[in-house]
Amino acid sequence: MSEKFAPASTQAPTRLGAPYFAGEMPGFFPAVGDLLAVRSKSDPSVEFDLRLSADRSDGEWAAVVVGIGRGMEPLASFDGIRLRDEVRVARGQIASLTKCTRLSRV
């Protein structure tokens, strides 16, 4: 499923974005419970909001889709991905990250 997400280098980070994962902030990595955004590869105006649910050993994370939108328009699904679907996401696809380690793990 992660092949449907655009690489972060093609996206404009809105919060803490891809450059921080390239070594500018060593030791700062996504963790289970964090919220992140990725963009669709087929339509970069579509953003998927994800909550990380598991750290996988293959360099990807498992995440649950908690929101999908194009601009201010909310979507229930896009490109075969629906709300509450579990997807895989690689570090290089993350457009923005919000640390949520104090929130309950869902």
pTM of the model: 0.73
Q: Is the dihedral of CA 35, 3, 88, 93 positive or negative?
A: negative
Please give the average per-residue pLDDT across 38-67, as a whole number. Answer: 89
Whether the per-residue pLDDT at 16 is higher than 60: the answer is no
Please give the average per-residue pLDDT across 97-105, as a whole number. Answer: 68
Q: Is the dihedral of CA 1, 56, 93, 102 positive or negative?
A: positive
Mean pLDDT for the chain?
Answer: 78
> At 18, is the pLDDT very low, low, confident or very high (cuts 50, 70, 90)?
very low
Sorted by where each starts, the structural domains of the chain and their CATH numbers stand as: 2-98 (2.30.30)
Q: Which three-class secondary structure string do you get for 18-86? A: HHHHHCCCCCCCCCCCCEEEEEECCCCCEEEEEEEEEECCCCEEEEEEEEEEECCEECCEECCEECCCE
